[in-house]
Structure 1
């Protein structure tokens, strides 16, 4: 009887072990499947973010600024007038660059606006003063001239911009844009920051380089200084990830693919706009074309193309040299 009970006990233990083993395998498969699904979702989300990044540099940025302007429109407040105080002064106004005065009057940087608005309304609380200043800043940020990153001395700005235009062909208007930002630029920088944070640890060298290149292309086209900072950080991260010659090749490939994706989205929006499409339709077309371009470029290796070209050139050169020597 004891032998029978012992055998039954062993069988029961083996059964429990088998059940536990099956349960562990099943749990592992569920976790692995979940990770695969999550990775796939991240990849698709990354493609959409990379494509969408370029859209803030397109004609759609004007529509975004108009949307914000409609939300903050209204008669000028004491805070608007305080920010424009130097420009409204007849003695100072002639030397402040006309419609470009925000870059030179000292009242339109965030710090300058806070100083100008401090205490202008004795009836407002500190919170009301802060909200009034923010609304005034948003009202100016949603206009074509935007807001300056820092205040320039006008004569210095004219000297620098003139030298850049004469020596390098950089237009003065583009240099002005590089020193200012609007609400579309803020939105573009926010997308860039989210994209970088989202893939900071998970993306490989090629993917991160593609992201940095797409951000850089958008920043250059739109002259968005905030986005340029994000692009530099992203590219530095991509270089940090590349620790071998093979990964540096991935860096080159990723940069090419990111620029191709961003360029495709910009071109698609331009075509949709010229065809009279609405802003919503142009947005959809831009994102879709960008994602498709990402998929197509993912199958092309720029490094492989360059190596193939160099190999073919060397072979043709050797053949030509041999033919010349025989003759």
Structure 2
């Protein structure tokens, strides 16, 4: 791959730059793992092409190093600044698009995937079907129900469904310092592939923007706000793991723009508000308004 020289660069200078790129690419020729060799050589070519295209200054290079250093310093076991960086650059969604191709000839389209986000936690508590994931988190109660099937329409019993979300203040439990576990749980679909649980009606919130990624967004006049959403991760033997969200129909932030590019039309769902006193699906007594939504999940075959 020979890069096109910048118009302001002489042929002699372009040759010097291309020779360096070729030298670095060739340094990986002896990499035993062919996939690693491909990754490192492609990364080198594209990185050098970027530097040459924008004529990167040494000051800008130093600023980039300081930015990455700051991202490393703020990252810990509760916050992953590099995932945020990947998200706001669209790299996360592009990786998801590459790895979740449509299944040709499927009777039912597989549910679309979207970003994982930085707030998933292993070992969330298990709840029964109809249980409550809120765990004391504040927000409007919301009944969520649906089915899990494969692309031929067969119900998937025993699918593990992980769900997690922010409270109505826009914070996940891990963003608090008191060790709470709230707004997250897992459950399993029944013999007919059905599931249901109580959660909270999602609300918009900003991604953490007190660090280097937030400063970058501010400098580029971009909003850190995410459209209202509820996270899902669904797994079942022989089927592709699904990581996705559902979004709230009518949320103005969808039109304004989701800061991590995660919204897809198929994932926008009606969250129908029910007035106080409206009977709930399981007879639960609520003192105010609540909402309900339906999300039918279709899993693609593993390896598809």
Pick the structure with more strand per residue: 2
TM-score (norm 1): 0.23
TM-score, normalised via structure 2 length: 0.24
